Structure 1
Amino acid sequence: MAAATLRCYSLWRQLTPKSSVRLLPLSVVKIHTSAPRVMGATVEQFERAKSQLSMLQKDPGNQVKLKMYGLFKQATQGPCNTPKPGMMDFVNKAKWEAWKSLGSIPQEDARQQYCDLVVSLMDAEGLSSTAETAAKPSGSTSGFNSLLVTTEDGITTIKMNRPAKKNAITNEMYNEIIAALEQAAKDDSVITVFTGAGDFYCSGNDLNNFQLDGTKSVEEKAKDGAELLRKYVKAYIDFPKPLVAVVNGPAVGISVTVLGLFDLVYANDKATFHTPFSQLGQSPEGCSSYIFPKVMGPAKASEVLLFNKKLTAVQACELGLVTEVFPDSSFQTEVWRRLKAYAKLPPNSLKLSKQLIRSEEKARLHAVNDAEVNLLRERWTSDECANAIMSFFMSKAKL
């Protein structure tokens, strides 16, 4: 029955327009700076990004255009220093508020955010953007299709780079993240930072991970998926350097559960944290079945892992999952200022101290990972899981 149901789902997905299925509602595009830069985007890069706007074919909406206006003014003139327009001057008042909301963000940071917004909008329309080059910092490494990996100022940044898909994780992306972590473990950086491009941190698994292509049975695909998941979580457990999550927006599923394996988690106040496993007939992963009860207490962990409670950034911080929450307006500036300071600390001291702190738990975490993966493999081949996934996706298709 499970195999038949999943085959029906696979066929249904092929016949259903992609635009009709979404894991989560689309939200207004927000702007976040990319990997750390000493001086942000240059004037030349900023001008290059501006030139790309004429390529856009869709209206991004008033809220995005207001944010773009504010960033442009901040980048070219600095902090807002003009009087607030009159109450009845609605248009200019909205523009002024968009500029004023940026506070004292430096001009180079505003240029960087402007470049990142252009990249996000271009990606959302599937356009090739030279603005992406403008927004990327020096030290970028190639070889990844779904990630931007950079090393600068003692910090290696791994950025999930599928903003048009809310950074949903494909099987290819799982393998690329594993490779990026292995690479970062051996490079000369002091700390490693994980974040997302666009307005989402990560929306969990890509829908296509659930499709059958006719080359493998449900059982074979479940086995392959289980081994990939085991290897993925293991890469976090074994990572030797300080690992920091910069959660720039909503996080779903496995992007939430592995946060317990990070050393620091900094979140935007717009971020949310959701693990809807029971809704999909599945079970927790990322060592969350062990770490969440330990950090939050059994009752609160049950709300999150069993009963699908979505946490705000503040709630996640109060429960110990998040280290600190920052306002959206100053999030990137404050976080990267701290990270750059951390990267100046003695690297061997940080690495050895982390390994000492984690040493007592490491064997336990590997055992928990194995147990979670084994249970998930069974879940993926069950009728209950297949029917729950089918029901979930069909309900989303009607939205």
Structure 2
Amino acid sequence: MTAKPILFHVTNSVAIITLNRPDKLNAFNREMALLLQTYLDDCADKAIRCVYITGAGKGFSAGQDLVEVTEPDGPGMARILSEHYNPIITRIRNLPKPVIAAVNGVAAGAGANIALACDIVVATASASFIQAFSKIGLIPDSGGTYFLPRLIGHQKASALMMLGDKVSATEAERLGMIYKVIPDESFEAETLQMAHKLAQMATLGLAYTKLALIASAENSLEAQLEKEDELQQKAAASNDFAEGVQAFLEKRAAIFQGH
């Protein structure tokens, strides 16, 4: 029986999505890309309060499976972008909850850029990131040309994309490409602990934070102040805010419900 290319389960309000083609370093084919979209849609369920994406085996994802690209009856590049990767990136950004990329090994090409589209990127000390597109005559896709220069600046992003250099997890953290490097031996435990912590927080406020950060990429200061005003009023009207204030006054841990 062929293993599913993506594994999905929910524990303590955290949806754990595992890219599961370890023999291919979790390279994407059409089946895998469409299934990831389905699971990301499932994560819209209010019972899910944090999403955690990782890879099986030694890699996070090597990007696109090039065998599929060369198949005469394959989907072709236009469909791969419009039906595979662009919808994945859009779903990650539109989910009103934190999405963690737990990069457990190499993240190359579209695999790297799917990780960078997530809200928090953590990596094992042995992980690496590669904008591999130039090596085969392509441009970075899956939002790479949007996210990477905003994370590390135009010059660094341009060089990494054109030269195709491998970036170690330690260097990625230094550049501001990712949040944190975690030792391999404690990676799974520490990153899942982070996901469960987020799931117990005021997740409506986290969703509004995500919206504010997305808006800030395009807004002027004046427009961003208006966006903050709009979202803060919504947050202040939530049950979570009332609970947070009451818990603070009563000197106890808050019990947030995510609404």
- TM-score norm. by structure 1 comes to 0.51
Q: Deviations over 1:248-307 (max 9, x none)?
A: 111111111233321111100000111111111100112221321222122211221111
Match of 2:139 among 247, 259, 283: 283
- The answer to whether the aligner puts 1:241 opposite 2:97 as a matched pair is yes
- Specify the alignment match of 2:167 in structure 1: 311
Contact 2:69 2:77 in 1 (8 A): no
For 1:201, what is the secondary structure of its paired residue? Answer: strand
1:174 to 2:30 alignment: no
For residue 66 of structure 2, what is the amino acid of its counterpart? L
Q: Which amino acid aligns with 1:163?
A: P
Question: 8 Å contact 2:98–2:198 — kept in the other structure?
Answer: no
Contact kept in structure 2, 1:237 and 1:261, CA below 8 Å: yes
Residue deviations 1:61-120, cap 9 Å, x none?
A: xxxxxxxxxxxxxxxxxxxxxxxxxxxxxxxxxxxxxxxxxxxxxxxxxxxxxxxxxxxx
Give the structure 1 partner of residue 229 of structure 2: none
Q: Identity of counterpart residues, as a percentage?
A: 26
Separation in structure 2 between the aligned mates of residue 188 and residue 359 of structure 1, nearest angstrom: 26
How far did residue 201 of structure 1 move?
Answer: 1.0
Q: How big is the alpha-carbon RMSD for the aligned residues of Structure 1 and Structure 2?
A: 2.2
Partner of 1:254: 110
Letter of the aligned partner of 1:179 in structure 2? T
Describe the shift of the 1:147–1:187 C-alpha distance in structure 2 as closer, same or farther (beyond 3 A).
Answer: farther
Task: Give yes or no for contact 2:59–2:106 (8 Å, CA) kept in 1.
Answer: yes
Secondary structure in 2 matching 1:282 = coil
Task: Report if aligned partners of 1:154, 1:191 keep a CA contact under 8 Å in 2.
Answer: yes
- Listed as ranges, the gaps of 5+ residues in structure 2 are 220-259
**Residue 297 (structure 1) aligns with:** 153
Partners of 1:275 and 1:209 in 2: CA distance: 19
Map 1:121-160 to 2 at 5 A.
145-160=4-19
1:315 Cα deviation (Å)?
Answer: 0.5
1:223 to 68, 78, 86: 78
Runs of 4+ that moved beyond 4 A: none
2:114, 2:142 within 8 Å by CA — same for their partners in 1?
Answer: yes
Tell me which protein shows more strand as a share of its residues. 2
Aligned positions of 1:93-112 closer than 5 A? none
Is 1:324 the counterpart of 2:180 in the alignment?
A: yes
Could you list the per-position Cα deviations for residues 32-84 of structure 1 after superposition, in whole angstroms to 9, with x for gaps in the alignment?
Answer: xxxxxxxxxxxxxxxxxxxxxxxxxxxxxxxxxxxxxxxxxxxxxxxxxxxxx
Q: Are the equivalent residues in 2 in contact too, given 1:155–1:189 (CA < 8 A)?
A: yes
- Opposite residue 279 of structure 1, the aligned amino acid is K
TM value normalised by structure 2: 0.77
The answer for the alignment partner of 2:60 in structure 1 is 201
In the alignment, which residue of structure 2 is the partner of 1:190? Answer: 49
Larger Rg: 1
